[in-house]
Amino acid sequence: MTLSERQYPLLAMFDKPHLIMSVAQAQAIDQRPFRSFLIRGYLGYSRVKKGFYLTETGQEAWHRFNDTSIQRKDPTQPLTNYFRYFKRLRSAGQARPRAPKDNVREFIAAQRTASL
């Protein structure tokens, strides 16, 4: 799950269970993340309480976002292939290639075909 810099603060506003946000409060918030949460089903509208609430799907998204661990399963393993690639270049006596400023896309495509 990915949250943008606008979506995270909105989702954080609903961190208290059973919080109801009035229509007036919702109108003060940027509507782009609000709309995306309505479409995803993270927020719902209660006609009885006349306000927006965090749905079960939204609560699952909030917990998934906050509870995701970034710890490695085996920290003794070497770092990503990124470092091995440049180590191989240095051991072969090649300098790290630099991207020309005007043709970055062509440079990246050429690097990908060269590594295949």
Q: Please tell me which residue, 29 or 4, carries the higher pLDDT value.
A: 29
Q: What's the confidence (pLDDT) of residue 77?
A: 73
Count Cβ atoms within 10 A of the Cβ of residue 23 and give its class: 0-12 exposed, 13-18 middle, 19 or more buried.
exposed
User: What would the pLDDT profile of 79-96 be if each residue is shown by its tens digit?
Assistant: 666 666 666 777 766 666
> Do 33 and 56 share a domain, yes or no?
yes
In order of 29, 33, 43, 111, 115, the CA distances from 24 in angstroms are 9, 16, 16, 53, 56
> Do 61 and 93 share a domain, yes or no?
no
> Do 13 and 56 share a domain, yes or no?
yes
Residue 74 lies in a domain: no
Whether residue 68 is predicted with pLDDT greater than 70 in this model: the reply is yes
Q: Please tell me which residue, 113 or 36, carries the higher pLDDT value.
A: 36
> Do 100 and 54 share a domain, yes or no?
no
